[in-house]
């Protein structure tokens, strides 16, 4: 509940907080909301909370299944190993070529950050494709049984 309230306040600030003044704009002819940084920081906080909770549930579930059914626990561990392999492979194939971004002079236009961005995009594409395949193929396998 607290997270929802904070999210509503942050989004209200972003959409209703106005624009930065003309002399503070990074690119003069582009829209730049005043509270963009707050939205980005809140997204980072939500991402970290999500990953921590996900990892805690995965670890607790793994040890619980290890006691009840070791075979199922190893299946879950193989899924985790597959996910790590996907992230490593997609990082390696990511492009680290520096981008030409008008008006940007920050420190994030470096090969490791660019490769990590590609890693997340490629991983999302693969996971989306696997989800679609599962939605199409799993009902077919259930009909056979």
- Residue that wins the pLDDT comparison between 145 and 133: 133
DSSP 29: T
- Specify whether the backbone of 98 is left (phi greater than 0), alpha (psi in -120 to 50) or beta: beta
Predicted pLDDT of residue 59: 86
Max Cα-Cα span within the chain: 68
- Residue that wins the pLDDT comparison between 73 and 112: 112
Phi, psi of 97 (to 5 degrees): -65, 130
Q: pLDDT tens across 16-37, in order? A: 888 877 777 777 777 788 888 8
Q: pLDDT tens across 38-92, in order? A: 999 999 999 999 999 988 998 888 888 888 888 888 887 888 899 899 999 999 9
**In 3-state terms, what secondary structure has residue 25?**
coil
Q: What is the mean pLDDT of residues 106-131?
A: 94
CA-wise closest residue to 79 among 127, 38, 25: 127
Predicted pLDDT of residue 69: 86
Q: Is the pLDDT of residue 107 over 80?
A: yes
Q: What is the mean pLDDT of residues 81-104?
A: 91
- Range 126-141 burial, b when 16+ CB lie within 10 A, else e: eeeeeeeeeeeeeeee
Model pTM above 0.75:
no
- Confidence band (pLDDT; 50, 70, 90) for 143? confident
User: Could you give the CA distance from residue 33 to residue 24 in angstroms, rounded to a whole number?
Assistant: 11
CA angle 20, 26, 31 (to 5 degrees): 55
Predicted pLDDT of residue 129: 97
Q: Is the pLDDT of residue 106 over 90?
A: no
User: Could you give the CA distance from residue 134 to residue 77 in angstroms, rounded to a whole number?
Assistant: 20
């Amino acid at each position: 509940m607290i997270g929802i309230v904070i999210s509503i306040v942050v989004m209200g600030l972003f959409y209703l907080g106005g624009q930065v003044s003309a002399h503070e704009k990074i690119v003069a002819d582009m829209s730049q909301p005043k509270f963009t940084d707050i939205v980005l920081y809140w997204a980072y906080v939500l991402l970290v909370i999500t990953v921590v909770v996900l990892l805690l549930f995965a670890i607790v579930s793994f040890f619980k299944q290890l006691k009840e059914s070791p075979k199922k626990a190893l299946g879950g561990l193989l899924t985790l190993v597959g996910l790590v392999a996907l992230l490593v492979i997609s990082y390696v194939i990511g492009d680290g070529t520096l981008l030409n971004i008008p008006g940007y002079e920050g420190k994030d236009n470096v090969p490791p950050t660019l490769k990590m961005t590609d890693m997340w995009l490629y991983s999302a594409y693969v996971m989306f494709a696997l989800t679609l395949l599962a939605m199409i193929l799993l009902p077919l396998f259930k009909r056979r049984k």
